[in-house]
Every structure is written in structure tokens, then in C-alpha cells.
A and B are shown apart, each in its own frame.
Chain A
Amino acid sequence: MMSKLELKEDRMLEVQFVGDDDVLNHILDREAGAKLKKERTQLLVNTKKIIKKPEYDLEEDDQEVLKDQNYVEVLGRDIQESLKNGSAADGGNKVYSFQNRKHSEKMAKLASELAKTPRKNVSLSLKNDPEIINIPQCSKGHSASDNVQLKNNDKSEFLSTAPSGLKKRLIVPRSHSDSESEYSTSNSEDDDGVAQENEEDTNEVILNQKIPSQNRAVSAPVCKETPSKKMKRDKTSDLVEEYFEAHSSSKVLTSDRTLQKLKRAKLDQQTLRNLLSKVSPSFSAELKQLSQQYEQLFHKWMLQLRLGFNIVLYGLGSKRDLLERFRTTVLQDSIHVVINGFFPGISVKSILNSITEEVLNHMGTFRSVLDQLDWIVNKFKEDSSLELFLLIHNLDSQMLRGDKSQQIIGQLSSLRNIYLIASIDHLNAPLMWDHAKQSLYNWLWYETTTYSPYTEETSYENSLLVKQSGSLPLSSLIHVLRSLTPNARGIFRLLIKYQLDNLDNPSYIGLSFQDFYQQCREAFLVNSDLTLRAQLTEFRDHKLIRTKKGTDGVEYLLIPVDNGTLRDFLEREEEES
């Protein structure tokens, strides 16, 4: 920047016959005034200029607009100061930046990297290498120092060295290609470029494909550090493009493999727990230290709660145990309500009910939730000796995150003699609260990163890989069918087989009742359509089948269980018989 500035000024000196006044002022300024680097102050030194330029008056209001830098200095988190807070100066960039297109092998690649060099830390992937980061930066002329460097060095030489650096970097991951090829085999929608990357192909091809994408990927995080405004604009437009690029195609570049192919598919909650109990937790000493650190805050929390603040805990890891310890150590002598936000059946109504019924011993009913709230508020306002602590685990849970619920809880918490201490976990939890709610809550934020597993919190939700109780997995299928008559089992097997036969038929909507009846008769399973109907009713009660009316008005029968489970079931049946 400095060099540029000086360059400009030099050029101004070269101009010879400018208006004499201007030249005079200009030179006088440079000699008399202390050299002021900042633009605005430099302009100030000259009165004539001020008089000449009326826009200064217009700009007066702009003065109130505060400078970005100022903001960053004060509120941006710098590491050395707030040691307790998660800071990572550029951490925000990573979370907030746009998504860009990624190749499907990246994860496998990373995994193998992490695995192969276990103790030594591998740099994540290519883009973390400083050498590569520099390339787009320089060529775009982003930072000042590089600009200078560019001028000093022979330009062509610099550019010619760059690709060779890149080449080196690109060769490195190829050493892992053996393990990667295994993953890439089943990829469906892969484009050729990626496939080529894994196989040893000519360097040039890869380079040509790689450089532009790499540039883009790298330039985003790098640009963030440079302050210039123009740069920022560049960057954002870049990011926007990236975003749309990533979302433009509906193609999803992931492999087609499914969990069915893996033998261990879904575990149920109990086995999961049993298995996990065998894992010895790592870093227990450090974790204990962390939690001890937080426990020292208990008294401070109490003090702040009593003084009218409410406390919200955030950070990675379950805060349930911590709050539980808080409860048992300091809250034993006061009335308190513990609310498990993660409990699927929780609602504001139940919270209010437990306050009115159990805390205030009120047996009446209320017309609406708002009425109930009003009643509670009045009760607490009347009797100032009444005190109540509310502990809410997961204030941001599915059931409580609604606007109305938050409003009501906020109103409760704004009462002088109701003290609220809550925990939040979701990434976007603070978005629940607008200004009005925040002022109701009057939060003090405390970071309590515990790293403890969310055992209780996740046990209720229908997790992705945990067997869902709503659907019918294999074991329950077997269980139900065992209780049926052999004939009924035969009928069901017929339907399964038919459904599996029609696996590839995309327009398959089910087996029509008439056809089914015909097939069952032929297999000597039923003798009248009444018996079949009775049987089907029983299936339906067990949620084994579903009926659907087709476009022609005929009833179609379908088993709402995925085909893999059905096939497993058939195999099992055959083994047994």
C-alpha cells in the first residue's frame, strides 16, 4: 500500500503546469505538515481544500458510521485476551463461508491421510499448504507486500516457478491412491476429471483442471485477512458464484453405497448403549479439569441469577451433568424445576402446568396458556418471598424453539423472583431470540465446553442410524409373523415375493386384491375372499401392509418395509424351514 501511495505522489510531482495554487498547497503540505498517513487527516490540513469541497458537509453524517476496523478491534475476538472463549480468529470464516463443490473422495482421502500418519499431524489437504495459497494471492495482486515482491522479482520467472510448486503438491496425495481407488469404484455420477485424478495420468491434465478450482477454493479464506474494501467486494462476489455453482446442478456427487450392504446396519438404543459403555472415554483428566473449572462458577452464577440476570450455557458437549451438579450443590434448599427440553413430549403448557400445579399448588384449569402465564406472573408479583429456579436443558430443542414458547419462557424469566439457567446446543440457537426476547431473558452467556457425549439428549430423537420404532425392521417383522398361522405366513410371503419381483418396475404400486386372491387360491392358502380379507385386516393392524386405491379404483396392497429388509426376511425364513 505504502509503495503505491508514494508512487502516486511521485507522479503528481511530475505534472508540471498544474494550477499554481494546487501545486503550492500540495508541496507546502508535504513539507510543513507532519506526514500524516491517514487519508482523512491528510485532507484536513488544508483549509482551502475544505472550502473548495462542499461534500465534506454532506459527509458529516457518514462520520457516525463506524469503521469496520474499529469494530473488529474491539469486538472481534483476539486469542491472547479471552483465553476461555473459543476464539480462533479465523474460525468464523470457516463456519460462515459458502459451500463449494467438493469431490466425493475427499473424505476418504482425508481419512486415509489421518490414518496413515497417526502420530504426526498431516496437513489436511493440498490447500493448507502455504505455498499454494500464495499463488492465487500474488497473481491477483491482493496484498501489498506481494505487490512489491512482484515488482522486484522478474515476473515471468515467478510465474514459471509456481506451477512446479503446484506439481509437487499434487503428487503427494497420489501416494494414497491405492486406498482411494477402492472408494471410487462404486461412484455413479463422477465426472471424469476426478476419476483421472486418482489414476496416474499425465500431469498436465490434472494441472489444468486443478488450478482453477484450487484457486477458487483457496482464494476465499486467504482474502479474508486483507483489509482493503475492494478486495472484500471481489471476495464476496467470488463466494456468491461459488455458492451458485455448488447448488446449480442437481447432481449429487456421492457414492451409491447403502448401509444395507454393510452387515451391521441399524442398532437399537439398548445395544448402542451397551456397546458405547465399553468404550473408555479419552482425555478424562482434561475433561475433569474443565468441569472443575466450571464448577467454580456456581456461586457466581447464583449471585448473578439473584441479581436479575439469567444464565445461558453454550459450547460443545452435554451440559446436563454440569447443570445437574449445579442443582445438587447449590439449589438443594430452594424450589426448583428441572425441564428436559430434549424430551419429545415437552411443551410450554407442561412447564406452566408443573409450575401452577406443583409449585403453586393450584388445582384449577386455565382457558389458555396466556391466561395461565398471567396468573403465574401475578402470583409471583404479589408474593415477593416466592422464589423459583428454572433449569432448562436444551432451551433450543425442537419442542421449545418456537416463537410462542420462547416468548412465554422469556416472560417467565423476566420476573424478578424467577431465575432461569438454561443450556443451548444448536448451532443456530441464538437466532431464536430477537431483541424483544433477548431483553426479556436478560442473558449472561457462559461458555461451558464439556465434550461430554449427549447421551440423554440424543436417546429420544429418532436418530439416523438408530433403529426407529415407527418403522418395521427385521426383528419385529419376524416377531410378528411368528405369532401368525402358517397359512397367514404363506400369504404374507406371497406378497413379499411379488413385491420383490417387481423391484425394478418403477410404476409398481402394489398387488391388486383380486390378483392376490387368485394367487392365494392357487397356493391353497385361502378358500374365500372373506378369509383373505380377515387376514389382511390382521396384517393391517400390525402395520405389515398398506392398502392404496389405484387410479382405476382397485385396491392395491403394499408392504411398507424396505426391500432389503424383506429380502433378509425371506432368506431367514428359508434357512429356518
Chain B
Amino acid sequence: MATSSVSKGCFVFKPNFKKRKISVPVEDYFNKGKNESEDSKLRFETYQLIWQQMKSETERLQEELNKNLFDSLIEFLRKSYSGFQKSSRDWGCQIKLREIPTAALILDMKHFLQKLVSQLMMDCCVDEETKEGSIQVAQKKTHCSMDSLSSWYTNVTRKTDPKMPRKKRTSSSQWQSPPVVLILKDMESFTTKVLQDFIIISSQHLHEFPLILIFGIATSPIIIHRLLPHAVSSLLCIELFQSLSCKEHLTTVLDKLLLTTQFPFKLSEKVLQILTNIFLYHDFSIQNFIKGLQLSLLEHFYSQPLSVLCCNLPEAKRRINFLSDNQCENIRRLPSFRRYVEKQASEKQVALLTNERFLKEEIQSLLENLHVYHSNYFLVLRCLHQFTSSLPKYPLGRQIRELYCTCLEKNIWDSEEYVSALQLLRMLAKDELMTILQKCFKIFKSTSEKQLGSTAKRIEEFLAQFQNLDEAKEEEDTSGSLSKGLQKTDLYHLQKSLLEMKELRRTNKKQTRFEVLREKVVNFIDSLVREYLLPPETQPLHEVVYFTAGHTLREHLNAAPRIALHTALNNPYYYLKNEALKSEEGCIPNVAPDICIAYKLHLECSRLINLVDWSEAFATVVTAAEKMDADSATSEERNEIIHARFIRAVSELELLGFIKPTKQKTDHVARLTWGGC
């Protein structure tokens, strides 16, 4: 092999220059994978387009979410800077000068600080790089002292002051001697001693070297006091800034990327569950969530030929006209489409299955329906969320994503949670109900959908009725039946009387007007849900926009290498599919690969394994297996070979990290894994 050598481990391959010029465009890889690839180029372009849109949308979102924080931080910097200026004039503030202004940022998002740095570089005229450069210069001199740093600082400010080279943008007279902003990205990971010394020293030099510290903290603000003793932390004038929690961030991202008709691409329930679970259980990383989204988008466009129609409606309609015969066939093969066809009249069925033009027209209307379905879906979903998100115990989840998942999965009205949620809704107080209705009204008002326009009107009516209820101040007759005291009786009589009471209640349901109205509202919501929150599987052509292959996502994002290794060693049939390897759970046939046999044998040992015993046990198994094949004479050479095979298996297990050599006992190895029974 060209890449094995005993003298080096890196091999560089450079194709000759001419060849390299022709670099393969990315989209070529997109279609080469599949043998018959329909519209792959178009699909790839659509992927690129949607992904770019989604990406810029998330970036915009992040910026928006962090805007407040940025603003207050910059305000803080400005303030502390002006503090510097004042105090330099006023000697009375000399004592105060010892305190370094510090901002403590509590962060949930990791990549947030990089952005902050770039933003700060623009806003304040502190050039991080020149500062670094100076430190490097100081290091060269091998005595890096605060003096050299401050002299550098005066140099730089003096130099830049008359010329104002890169200050043009913020060249207000205020920033005459700009403070140096030092950002400690990850405060917890600093050595406390270094940090303490640095703070003490720089506080001494603060008058000639105006310094502002920004700490990035990932845990809690208490960490500052844990890392720095009082003597040091008293030198800091700390102000706390808290960034948005990552869960809220996730909610907004979901809201803007998935719960909208802006992007045609949708995730199925499984996929969404997987992504949110990875987020909530594994990393709390929005970045990873977006990565998962990107991967699902890519997989969707890569594997579904009809994803070419997964774009905005007018474009999709245009593309339908150019669909090839093959693609039409693909559409006919879609399960959801087949179901749809079966429901049609027989003449129409024939037309759909034979006439391409008719099919294309039908697809157009179906896609349009799908689009309408989605826009209604999200409105009603949000509305329902308004109702359920404030219920005690949150039967349908507190976050809209939980509600969304349930709705995607099945008919939500069939679930017990929904029933109990409705029951709770029937007990809402008036003002609660009204605020919710108002919010719903706003939701419906925000869009100009034709079908749901009446909904907004109805809600408005409800609201008005509630208002009237207030004015009417209707007298409520107290039903005396309930207050009838219960005397002490035996169980039988109690039950009996209770049953009677119940019967009574049911028959003369004397409801107040408010109760009647409330019932109406709940029924109205229920009818909305039943009409519009159908799971996407019921919609024809849903395959075009929904990505369903959750398992590929899980495989590639949330892989379990340990389990894969264990399965491969424990149950080779799983991979090799050879009948000889078929076995019950926990057993292994003796014809299995050497490493599997060695592994299985080593599971029977505790901490230490005697190599001799192991090798003999191995030989026993292997010999038995070979005898089955050919009863050849047992020669010394064969034993040698078996021994060699054993050596190979053992060293492979060592490479995999199951065992390691030990000096506790001669010719023993130590097991590195537990159990295995």
C-alpha cells in the first residue's frame, strides 16, 4: 500500500497541476450516488437555496435575541469608559479607580462570544490583534511586564490619536483614550492563580492602562466568588448580564423555522422528537440542532426524488409542468397519493393513472391544498397552544413543540391528554378565558387567510359576548341541591344517594350563561382542532415536504459506537448474515470470527485473565470448529497457526480497549470493561 511505512505516518498526495484545475462541482456528488437521479441538479439547487435561507434566518434570529444583551453590554462599556475619563480628571475618585469595571456574562450559547468580539471590534476601537501583537513582542523580550504593556498602550493611543486610521467609524471625540477590553471567554477554565494575579496587577496600573474585563461564564455567577477571593473580587466592579436560556432559544428557532409556511420543508414527528431529544438530553446546543436540521434537509433532497417540488408554491407549480414521465410514475407510487386516488371516482382514477397532463393539474391543486393545510395548521396549532399552555400540569405540554409533536403523531383528539385538557378548559375562569381568546384573536388577525377569517370573527363575537355577560350581571340562582348536607350513613346508602345526586345533576343541568358560553368556546376550539389539526399523513403528497427517515438522522448524529462494537463482537450474524452464525441470544457459534470467540471467552473472566488459559480455551473452540471442516492431521504447524490467530485476536482486543497488559501477575492481562454476563 502506498500509505504504509515504518518511517513516517503522514503521506501527502498532490495530483499534478493540470488535473487539479478541474475540481468536481459539489452537485456532481449529489447525483452520482443514485443511479437514476431525477432532477438532481434542481434538487441540489433547491437544497442550497432553502438551506441558505434557513441559515440566514437562524443567524438573524440569534442576532435579534442577543441584541438586547449586546446593547446593554455596549452601554456598560461606554459608561465605564466615561468613568475613566472623569476619574482621570478628578483625583478624588482615585480610590475608585482601583476597581476594574467588569461585565460577567452568563451564557448558554457557545458561539455567542465570537460574535460579541467581532461586534466589539467595530464598536470600540480596541484592536484585539494589535494587542496580541504587543504581547508577542513582549514575550520576545522575555520580560513581559505591565509597564511595557502600558507604555505600549500610550504609544498606540498617541500614534492613533493624530492619525485616526481605523477609528473613522466611531471617531467621536469621546473615545480619545479608548479602554482596553479584555474578554475572558471561558472564565471557569482559567487557572485561578493567574487570574488573581492578573487582576491585582492590572488594578495597580489602571490609571495608565484603562482596562475593562468581560468574563464569559457558563455556569452561575457564584463562580466568580469561588474563583476569586474577596481581596481580588473587591477590585472588580462587576455588573451581571444574563443571556437568553437555550431552551427559549430553541423555541424561537422552531417557531421561525418549522412552525411557519415560509419554508416548505417539514420534519415528521419522529425526526423532530429525535432532534429535540438530542438537544435536551445531550448537549443543549442550538448549533447541533441546526446541524441536525441541515442534515435532514440534505437527506430529504438527496433521497426523495420528488423533493424537487419542495419549494415555494408558485415555483413548485412551475416545476410540475416540467416533471418527467419517471417523476410522474414516482408520484403515482407515493402511498399517500395512492390512497387519494382510491377515494376518487373510477373515471378520475383512470385519468389520474394514465393521463400525465391531468395528473399534473391534479398535483397542482393538491400541492396548493397542502399549502393551505399548513397555513391553517399552524394557526390552529398556535391557538390551541394558547389554550393548553396555561393549564395546570400541562397535559399537552408546556412548549409548543410538545404540542406540535403530538399533533404530528396522531389525531390529537384521540389522546387522553387532549380529553383531560378539554375538561380543564371547561373549568377556566372568565378572565383567563378572555385573555386567551384575545391572544387567539391576535393570531388569527395577523394572517389574511380566507377560510380562517371567519374564525377571527367568531372569536371576536365570543369576546363581545363575554363582555356583555359582565354588563348584564346576571343573577345566579344557587342550586340548593348540592348544599344538602350529607348525614352519616353506611356505605350502601352513601353510594345510592350519590348516584341519585348524579342523576339529578345530569337531568337538571342548570348552567349559568357564562357556563354555556364557555362550553361553546371549548366546543368551538375542539371543532377547529378536529378540522385543521389532522396529522400530515392524511394529506396527499405529504411525502414531498416531510422528512421521515429519523433513523438515518439518529445513526449519523447520535451514534453509539460502543453498542455497535459490542453487537459486532457478540452477535456476528447481525452483520454477516451467514446461516452458520445464527445463534440464540447470548451464544456464539464456534465458527465465528476469531475476535468474537476471544471476546466471548474473555467475558467469562474477572479483572485479570490468564493468557495461557485463554489461549487454550481459544484453541479448544477453534480446533473443534476446524474439525468440522476437514479432519486433517493435528500437526504442530496447525497449532502454531491457531496460536497466531489467538495472538492476533488478543492484540486486536487490546487495540479496541477491552484489555491491557498488566504487571500484577505474569502472563496476565487486565480487563478494562465491566461485566459482560
Contact = CB atoms under 8 A, between A and B. Distances in A.
A86 B643 contact: no
Given A314-B564, A316-B595, A445-B557, A111 B11 contact: no
Contacts of A338: 3, 10-11, 13
Interface string B162-189: 0000000000000000000000000000
A36 B420 CA distance: 9
A451 B593 contact: yes
Contact of B273 (A41, A64, A74): A74
A129 B337 CA distance: 50
Interface string A105-146: 011111110111011011111011000000000000000000
A44 B424 contact: yes
Contacts of A31: 502
A354 B32 contact: no
A2 interface: no
Interface stretch (A20-28, A161-169, A512-520, A552-560): A20-28
B568 A282 contact: no
Top 8 nearest A-B pairs (CB, nearest first) are: A343-B9, A86-B564, A445-B559, A86-B567, A111-B617, A115-B624, A97-B675, A316-B568
A88 B9 contact: no
Interface in B548-600: 550-551, 554-572, 574-578, 581-591, 593, 595, 597, 600
A94 B676 contact: yes
Given A75-B554, A110-B617, 20 more contacts: A36-B420, A44-B392, A44-B423, A63-B394, A64-B398, A99-B671, A100-B606, A104-B613, A107-B604, A125-B604, A264-B643, A275-B643, A300-B302, A316-B595, A340-B10, A438-B283, A451-B568, A458-B648, A458-B651, A466-B647
B576 to A, nearest CB: 4
Contacts of A315: 561, 564-565, 568
The prevalent SS among residues of B at the interface is helix
Interface stretch (B85-93, B431-439, B484-492): B484-492
Interface residues of B, number: 160
A88 B575 CA distance: 12
Contacts of A111: 601, 616-618, 620-621
A299 B486 CA distance: 79
Contacts of B559: 85, 314, 445, 447
B568 A449 contact: yes
A92 B576 contact: no
Interface string A253-285: 111111111101001000110011011001100
B624 A116 contact: yes
Interface string B274-301: 1001101101010110010011001000
A252 interface: yes
Given A108-B617, A354-B12, A449 B564 contact: yes
Contact of B551 (A81, A91, A353, A464): A81
A307 B554 CA distance: 19
B26 A303 contact: yes
B194 to A, nearest CB: 18
A314 B563 contact: no
Contact of A66 (B281, B490, B639, B647): B281
Interface string B610-644: 11111111101101110110000000000111011
A445 B555 contact: yes
B20 A333 contact: yes
A290 B618 contact: no
B381 to A, nearest CB: 19
B645 interface: yes
Interface stretch (A426-434, A522-530, A540-548): A426-434
Contacts of B12: 335-337, 354-355, 358-359
B23 A41 contact: no
Interface string B379-420: 000000000000011110110000000000000000011011
Contacts of B666: 258
A429 B561 contact: yes
A77 B9 contact: no
Contact of A340 (B3, B576, B647): B3
A471 B49 CA distance: 63
B624 A114 contact: yes
Contacts of A256: 665
Interface in A32-70: 32-34, 36-38, 40-41, 43-45, 47, 50, 56, 59-60, 63-64, 66, 70
B46 to A, nearest CB: 14
